[in-house]
Each structure stands twice: as C-alpha cells, then as structure tokens.
Amino acid sequence: MEAIRPVPRTLLRDRAYEAIRDAIVAGEIEPGAVVRDAELAERLGLSRAPVRDAFSRLVGEGLLESKPQSHTRVTPLVASDVRDAAAVVGAMHELVTRVAVPRLEAADIEAMRAANERFAAAVSAGDVDAALRADDELHDVLVRVSGNRAAAATVARYTPLIRRLERQRFGEGGSCRSAGLHERLIETCAAGDVDGAVLGTAEIWRGLEELAD
C-alpha cells in the first residue's frame, strides 16, 4: 500500500484522511475490504484517534461504511452512486465555470493549457494517476477563480467516488477523457464565451455519468 505510509505529525486528522482516501481511490484498499483503525494507525505512524476521525469523514463521503460493534469496510463500487456523484460534481463545475469565465486572466488560461498538455501526455503514456492529477488541476483553475467555497467543498467531497471508478475502468483498458474536450473548453474560456464554456463543461461531466453506466 504505497499510499499508506507514515505522515508528518501536523494536521494529523487531515493527513490520515488523505492517505486512507487516496489508498481507497487507488484500489490499494479494495472494495469490500475491512479496515481497522489500529492497523492503519500503525502503518501511518499515528495514534488511533486521527484514524478514527478519518474513518468518520470517509463514511460521510461514501467511501467507507460502518456497522456499529461489527466492522468498517470499503464500500463497493455502485454505478448509481457514482452516477449521482458525477451529476452533482458536474453541476458544481457548471456553476463555477459560469462565474469564473468573465474573471479569467491570461495566466489562468495558460495554467489550463499547461494542465491539458500534461493530461494528454499522461493519457498517451498510460499514466492514469498523472492524467487524473492534471485533469483536477485544469478544472481547479475555474473552481479557484470562481471563489465559491461551497462548490469547492462539494467537488472535493464527491470527486473521489468518481475517481475510483475512473481508475478501475482505465485499468481494464477503457479510454480516458479526450484532451480535445478540454481544449474546446479552454478555447471558449479564452474567448470569454460563458455559455460555450458551460456547455463544454457539461459535456465533459456527462461523459463521467455515462462511464458509470
């Protein structure tokens, strides 16, 4: 479990959460696997308290399920759950795109272009981790520029559910989202075309809903 490793003793609850979340999304802790706070605390070099806090947060986000006095385990991949999450995340991205496009500066557009170049290179190399990181970086420009913290929190909460399925599909030989869709989104953003950018964003996230099917 490469994602499960000792973490700095700062913000322990958040660090534990991120490490366990990333291991689940990466498939290093498989769907249905029972997780134990004592075992993961030892792997992370932490006490059990921050790991328990992380478990509680991950249960709320749908990556873990807990049966009192029995077990905590990784949730199975359920297509309807992923589809619902993709619909919510997509709606948030459409919202932030509408707000962000009129505020974008040249440096923001350049950051999106650079992220898409990394995305395309990673897809070509079959590097799913790098592709998903670059995808996040591209869309995060719009989230950041919009300044909508509620939308950002919603995206952060539900995107891991989607990423878990994406990683599985790509690992099975599925195709990654097209860099061409990103390029069209970037061009509409650069042109200040709010409606076009929103439509492009909707097309990208609709593809993720279809992936769940």
Q: What is the pLDDT of residue 78?
A: 87
Does the structure show a pLDDT above 90 at 177? no
CA angle 111, 116, 120 (to 5 degrees): 155
130 Cβ contact partners less than 8 Å away, ≥ 6 residues apart: 118, 121, 122
What is the enclosing helix (H) or strand (E) of 211?
Answer: helix 194-212
Assigned token pair, 106: 């040249």
What is the identity of the amino acid at 142? Answer: L
Q: Average per-residue pLDDT in the chain?
A: 89
The C-alpha atoms of residue 180 and residue 3 are separated, in whole angstroms, by 31
Sheet holding 34-35: strands in order across?
A: 34-35, 71-74, 64-67
pLDDT in tens, 86-125: 999 999 999 999 999 999 999 999 999 999 999 999 988 8
pLDDT of the residue at 206: 86
Concatenating the DSSP letter of every residue in 108-124 gives HHHHHHHHHHHHHHHHH
Predicted local confidence at residue 13, as pLDDT:
84
| Identity at 144, one-letter amino acid code | R
**DSSP 8-class letter at 101:** G
